[in-house]
Structure 1
Amino acid sequence: MLVKAVIFCSVVFLIIFSLVPAVSAQTPGDLFPGDVNEDFKVNLTDLSILLANFGKSPATRQEGNVSPNDTIVNLTDLSLVLSNFGKSFSPTATPTPTRTPTPTSTSGRTRVIYTPSTEEIANPERGFMKQSNIFLDQAYSSKLGKQNPNDTVVWIYFHMEKYRDPRDGKGVTVSNYQFVPLEPVGSGKGLDVVKKTFDDARTKGLKLVIRFLYVGYSGIGSTQDFANAEPDAPLDVTLKHIDQLAPLIQQNKDVILAVQAGFVGYWGEWHSSKYLSPVANRKAIVDKLLAVVPQDRMLQVRYPKYVQNLYGGPISAIEAFNQSNVSRVGIHDDAFLKDDTDDGTFTSNAMGQKISTYCDGSSNTTQCWRDYYAKTSQYTPAGGEAGTHSNPPSPLANCPNALTQLNNLHFSFLHNGYAKVVLDTWVNQGCMPEIRRRLGYRLVLKEALIPQSVRVGGTLNLDVTLSNEGFASMFNPRPVFIVLQNASNRYEIPVVSVDPRRWEAGREHTVIAAVTIPSNVSPGTYTLGLWLPDQATSLRGRPAYSVRFANTNVWEPATGINRLTNNFQVTN
């Protein structure tokens, strides 16, 4: 009879309460009056749990015993729930992931809330990059390294000046152009230098953005007098060199972050070309690269107008990562913030001719091309270098606009040596730390719902909420594993339904995983973690190539996993 009376009174209270607006409150500490399941709200869920256990003794808080003065679910507890009904609470302190988890009674799982970190993190395939010039006609001497301990990318210019016909030059017409092949692996030059560069990167835990070029030296500038330009190489020669390079590119894709479609003109930047100015020649080069570069690696072309002319776009979400030509071609901007068009990056014309009509109907051609770049770079690599020789730089390089453009264009990497006047501006104006943190992806764990235990052979249902606070998302494939680990054992369970490339910048994402605990797992207590290693098995066991979440007390540097909880039970 008492329980029926309690229920009747509670219903009457709720009818009256429904006429009163809900309120929010601030309460110190982790526990809130009347909040049975500790979800920072007092609502029907809390009341139903309490009523279901009314009179139970002994009882836990999660069963409705919210009063600290006894061990029974009684009228005192009901009064606390009803007097706080409809309130929500904002905790004054965020619990760390190592605190005792709080089970949610509705799902039988533990909610763990994680603490974000403001630390700059050395994550793979993103960040500032050192630029190194490597000459294929010279014996390899390591130029790979880090300007900052958190840098993980190196930008390689492979120079091929000595692999042009030596008779060629400015204003020279060469008949019967002579092909100069790259020397083989083991020779100490040519292909051997390329191989040693890849090997060195692997040894040092780095990834490479690579570009091959026929001409580039300090002060070379630019020209539209193509007949008198410093020569690159004819199309047939370029294609033969790409054929020679193909096996090494394919064998070493594990340390290749992106391949830039260089070869054309000064510095391989697709201007000032003696031989390769026609759009058809440029398409032949990119088509050849698309054929020889592994399909799960992407290219970068200097100007969006050429990408649009050659392959269409911008890329849609449906096309993203489907390994079609348009889905594999991104853009690099080597004149970032030089002026409003980034030195012609965001225009329809080049070399006095219209390259693409894509933005012809737009009232703002520059913004139209910026939008094209922004849509494409959601799913492809974006980066380059700040481009200016002026001191002071354009006001466009000031921190507010720089942060806006890096975010809009989804930059993953930037040259850390040029233009120094722009980089110094970011230091002096105070935004450099944020830029260093946010280049590429930056994944922050928010919370996870984790069962306290699962039987061997049973299903582990795991919900993990994270946000990507970087400028960009990942663009190369990367697996996700749930890891069970203790002093004696480690088990890696793939989560094949999750593609972290879809964790777009500026959004929260919830990973919902349902995986079977393998039959060979030994019962016991485990650390449960998420592991995002490199796709390549050659690098998978190296933590330097695994993704670290931007949280405190989560990362295990020795194993490369991100701990979700240290007290997960596997039972018989």
Structure 2
Amino acid sequence: MPEITFFGRNPTKGLDLPSVLKISKKNQMKAKLTSLVLVFCWVASEVNAQAPLVLQSLDYTENPVDIPNPDRGPYRGRWQRVATHFGTTPEVDHLVPVDAHDVLFHGATLVGLATLGTVEGDDIEETQFFNGQNISPNYAGGTGVSALPSISFMGFDLARFSSNAFLSATGALAYQADGLFEDPVSGAPRTGKTQPLTNYALDYIRGLLQKVRDGNGVAFVKFSYDGNGFNYLEPSRYPHLNLREGLIHGPEPAYVTPNNPSAMCDVPGYTDKDWIEYHLWQLKPIFHEFEDIIMCVKTGMLGPWGEQHSSPMALDPEANKKLFDTFLDVVPDSRLLLTTQRVFLSWYNLTYGTTYTVIDSIPVPPKGSPEARWGYFDDSYGSNYTNSGRYRTPDDRYRFFNWIHSQNTMTQIEGGIGDNIFGHMPGAILEAQQFRITAANMRHGNYSRWSDFIYNEANVTTPVTFPASASETSPPFTGPTKTAIFDPVYDGRNGLEYMRDRFGYRLVLREAKASEWVERRGTLAFEGKIQNVGFGNILNRKNVSVILKSKAGSNAYIARTDLDARDWLADEGGNGRPDNTAAWRDLNFSVAMSTLGDVPAGNYDIYLKINDPKEKSTNKRCIRFANKGNSWNADLGANLIGSTTVR
């Protein structure tokens, strides 16, 4: 019988089948066939042999430091209070140019002295949280707590494309004085001009988003027609003038005024769209082109700063529905749309023929439905109990954030840390957990209310009694009494450090067991546990891939797993303690070695890589675990989870 070699070994060598089986010569062929069956059974058993799973020598404890990750955390925002030819403004969006002759306006994007014309790409540098003081010229810092943001705030002001939008605070003040849309002396327009977005404007927007892609951040995108608040005069910005606070004019080009006689687009073939719909249709290719780096889209477009309040269109339910429908169409369905409770309620009632007056009456949206794409932005987080009129009573607030929590969406806040139970620790912890706060503007609001708080068990577990009426100051408070959960990992640090690290998701590897060895044609097995200790969850789909990297060289082999990182949910009760094993989620996978390619025999480290399915780079915007130890490989953009031997 000829020798048969498999993997360098011959299982039949020295085997005399006729003598062993005591069979006749006539049946030797049958015996040889039997031997081949035995051989192939042996081969199959070798290939499918499973090595024992071995606990890996890793540090499974959390490191209480800033871990920048995509789609979550603090962002810098664009804030200034300096006099410019555009007028004084506290919030700054990129004023999109019509052509090369337009003066660019980016505002104070650097920490320290405010400057005009600074673009950077965009705000991804270490920054200290603002303490509410030293507004001019320094609008940042003072808390002693820093973070490296991974979110770029990309606000685009389309004022130059709306005849209703003022181009500067100076022009708005002059309009208030004489009621003219043009300067009576120079004839210079005080507003933009309703028109299509030019190719120059679209390329400008692409260029700034490309800066984000070239960096290592994601874009929080907002478009509006009054991104700098020029249509809404705030007396605090001009203390020397006797101003009434409020909207001067509706900034939207779909709002009919003497300066904007038609709401409808006049471009041939698109006259069925109003100007807002047409502008968003023009932006649709950009939303899809940069899907890989867009974290979410704020549905702006209506009202001052795109905050969807005050203007006639912002208060019109039909306009709210049309706007939200348009965003649902133009933004890839992989991305959340941030809007307000009122806009979403208007859209839902008009879409489904309901008459809900409070949002928690709406059933929790099923996965994949249009309403499941809704997230919440809060431009004045915790400023008072009723949040500047956004809720009629604190009871409305509780009902709202309980619904938000059940929906498993995200909340973005613009600061505005209130001097009340919601804004101070430890009540702020309970609020953040319920609202699932994902992103926060670190340059807006008095964050010293959190940095001055010593995070220890006695302080954190002090019971908090919330109000049950709209009164902010008058006892008795008869609302619910709650107690936050103390996490010993942050014992002795300050509250702002804890909050900074808990925005959005935060992943800690708690256990890792991997195949001690694996055959080249076998299957690599891994079983582990991971804990999400953040306020929120991973909301955008991620690829979860395993990488084998040679310990003896630079060769690496990668294959997708069937894991879904969105399943790694935070504890519903906000318990991120390491001893809360009930909140440890399974991290189990098996990968056929053939899917990794032709992996040579040798010793390998096992890495887990988590990134967006459309990511174009090899190692940017990847999720890093918050474990102690040197387990992060920046070149791979992956986390070390063990080692194995391929043989």
TM superposition score normalised by structure 2: 0.62
Secondary structure, counterpart of 2:588 in structure 1: strand
Instruction: Tell me whether 158-167 or 366-375 shows the greater mean CA deviation.
Output: 158-167
Assess, with a 3 A threshold, how the Cα gap between structure 1 residues 407 and 383 changes in structure 2: closer, same or farther: same
Cα deviation for residue 547 of structure 1 reads 0.7
Give the counterpart of 2:345 among 293, 299, 308: 308
Q: Structure 1 counterpart of 2:607, which letter? A: G
Instruction: For residues 448-505 of structure 1, give each alpha carbon's deviation from its aligned partner in whole angstroms, at most 9, with x where no partner exists.
Output: 1211011122122211101001111111111101111111421111112x11012111
Q: Are 1:481 and 2:529 matched, yes or no?
A: no
- Alignment partners' CA distance in 1, 2:245 and 2:632: 55
Give the counterpart of 1:491 among 551, 557, 580: 557
Aligned to 2:337: 299
Q: Are 1:554 and 2:514 matched, yes or no?
A: no
Q: Are 1:217 and 2:229 matched, yes or no?
A: yes
Secondary structure, counterpart of 1:532 in structure 2: strand
Instruction: For residues 64-109 of structure 1, give each alpha carbon's deviation from its aligned partner in whole angstroms, at most 9, with x where no partner exists.
Output: xxxxxxxxxxxxxxxxxxxxxxxxxxxxxxxxxxxxxxxxxx9821
- Alignment partners' CA distance in 2, 1:427 and 1:225: 32
- Alignment partners' CA distance in 2, 1:196 and 1:129: 20
Cα deviation for residue 220 of structure 1 reads 2.7
How is 1:442-461 mapped onto 2 (pairs within 5 angstroms)?
A: 442-461=506-525
- Asked whether the 8 Å contact 1:232–1:274 carries over to 2, the reply is no
Assess, with a 3 A threshold, how the Cα gap between structure 1 residues 522 and 414 changes in structure 2: closer, same or farther: same
Cα deviation for residue 434 of structure 1 reads 0.6
Cα deviation for residue 292 of structure 1 reads 0.6
Q: Structure 2 counterpart of 1:307, which letter? A: F
Assess, with a 3 A threshold, how the Cα gap between structure 1 residues 549 and 119 changes in structure 2: closer, same or farther: same
- Asked whether the 8 Å contact 2:213–2:293 carries over to 1, the reply is yes
- Alignment partners' CA distance in 2, 1:283 and 1:221: 29
Consecutive unaligned residues of structure 2, counting only runs of 5 or more, are 1-49, 79-92, 98-102, 105-116, 128-146, 167-174, 183-191, 236-242, 255-262, 264-273, 350-358, 454-493, 572-582
Instruction: Tell me whether 211-220 or 122-131 shows the greater mean CA deviation.
Output: 211-220
- Alignment partners' CA distance in 2, 1:238 and 1:488: 52
How is 1:234-253 mapped onto 2 (pairs within 5 angstroms)?
A: 234=254, 236-253=274-291
Q: Are 1:530 and 2:476 matched, yes or no?
A: no
- Alignment partners' CA distance in 2, 1:520 and 1:395: 60
Q: Are 1:129 and 2:129 matched, yes or no?
A: no
Percent identity over the alignment is: 22
Give the counterpart of 1:398 among 407, 411, 424: 424
Give the counterpart of 1:382 among 411, 418, 426: 411
Aligned to 2:642: 565
- Asked whether the 8 Å contact 1:228–1:274 carries over to 2, the reply is no
How is 1:323-338 mapped onto 2 (pairs within 5 angstroms)?
A: 324-338=369-383
Cα deviation for residue 224 of structure 1 reads 12
- Asked whether the 8 Å contact 1:258–1:297 carries over to 2, the reply is yes
Secondary structure, counterpart of 1:441 in structure 2: coil
Cα deviation for residue 164 of structure 1 reads 1.1
Aligned to 1:468: 532
- Asked whether the 8 Å contact 1:195–1:248 carries over to 2, the reply is yes
Assess, with a 3 A threshold, how the Cα gap between structure 1 residues 290 and 405 changes in structure 2: closer, same or farther: same
- Alignment partners' CA distance in 2, 1:178 and 1:151: 36
Q: Structure 2 counterpart of 1:161, which letter? A: A
Greater than 3 Å deviation, 4+ residue runs: 138-141, 166-174, 221-230, 311-318, 344-348
RCO (CA 8 Å, sep 6+): is it higher in 1 or 2? 2
Q: Structure 1 counterpart of 2:598, which letter? A: N
Aligned to 1:160: 158
Aligned to 2:33: none
Q: Are 1:342 and 2:379 matched, yes or no?
A: no
Give the counterpart of 1:368 among 399, 404, 407: 399
- Alignment partners' CA distance in 2, 1:226 and 1:119: 42
Cα deviation for residue 198 of structure 1 reads 0.3
How is 1:510-529 mapped onto 2 (pairs within 5 angstroms)?
A: 510-518=586-594, 520-529=598-607
Instruction: For residues 226-266 of structure 1, give each alpha carbon's deviation from its aligned partner in whole angstroms, at most 9, with x where no partner exists.
Output: 99535333161211111111111111111211100101111
Instruction: For residues 22-63 of structure 1, give each alpha carbon's deviation from its aligned partner in whole angstroms, at most 9, with x where no partner exists.
Output: xxxxxxxxxxxxxxxxxxxxxxxxxxxxxxxxxxxxxxxxxx
- Asked whether the 8 Å contact 1:412–1:472 carries over to 2, the reply is yes
Q: Structure 2 counterpart of 1:299, which letter? A: L
- Alignment partners' CA distance in 1, 2:165 and 2:420: 42
Give the counterpart of 1:180 among 185, 195, 198: 195
Cα deviation for residue 411 of structure 1 reads 0.9
- Asked whether the 8 Å contact 2:321–2:346 carries over to 1, the reply is no
- Alignment partners' CA distance in 2, 1:290 and 1:481: 30
Q: Are 1:233 and 2:246 matched, yes or no?
A: no
Instruction: For residues 170-210 of structure 1, give each alpha carbon's deviation from its aligned partner in whole angstroms, at most 9, with x where no partner exists.
Output: 78899xx97322220xx3xx212211110111122111111
Q: Are 1:269 and 2:289 matched, yes or no?
A: no
Aligned to 1:115: 60
Aligned to 2:565: 500
Q: Structure 1 counterpart of 2:233, which letter? A: I
Give the counterpart of 1:415 among 422, 441, 466: 441
Q: Structure 2 counterpart of 1:125, which letter? A: D
- Alignment partners' CA distance in 2, 1:287 and 1:166: 23
Assess, with a 3 A threshold, how the Cα gap between structure 1 residues 501 and 172 changes in structure 2: closer, same or farther: farther
- Alignment partners' CA distance in 2, 1:199 and 1:437: 27
Give the counterpart of 2:207 among 196, 203, 207: 196
- Asked whether the 8 Å contact 2:410–2:435 carries over to 1, the reply is no
Q: Structure 1 counterpart of 2:312, which letter? A: K
- Alignment partners' CA distance in 2, 1:306 and 1:284: 10
Q: Are 1:278 and 2:316 matched, yes or no?
A: yes
- Alignment partners' CA distance in 2, 1:227 and 1:570: 69
Assess, with a 3 A threshold, how the Cα gap between structure 1 residues 166 and 547 changes in structure 2: closer, same or farther: closer
- Alignment partners' CA distance in 1, 2:229 and 2:288: 29
Assess, with a 3 A threshold, how the Cα gap between structure 1 residues 228 and 442 changes in structure 2: closer, same or farther: closer
Cα deviation for residue 275 of structure 1 reads 3.5
Consecutive unaligned residues of structure 1, counting only runs of 5 or more, are 1-105, 349-362
Assess, with a 3 A threshold, how the Cα gap between structure 1 residues 366 and 564 changes in structure 2: closer, same or farther: closer
Instruction: For residues 90-133 of structure 1, give each alpha carbon's deviation from its aligned partner in whole angstroms, at most 9, with x where no partner exists.
Output: xxxxxxxxxxxxxxxx9821123633222221112211101132
Q: Structure 1 counterpart of 2:624, which letter? A: R
TM superposition score normalised by structure 1: 0.70
Aligned to 2:259: none
Assess, with a 3 A threshold, how the Cα gap between structure 1 residues 318 and 480 changes in structure 2: closer, same or farther: farther
- Asked whether the 8 Å contact 2:320–2:346 carries over to 1, the reply is no
- Alignment partners' CA distance in 2, 1:309 and 1:401: 31
Instruction: For residues 384-412 of structure 1, give each alpha carbon's deviation from its aligned partner in whole angstroms, at most 9, with x where no partner exists.
Output: 21226x8xx23431120111111111111
Q: Structure 2 counterpart of 1:126, which letter? A: R
Aligned to 1:74: none
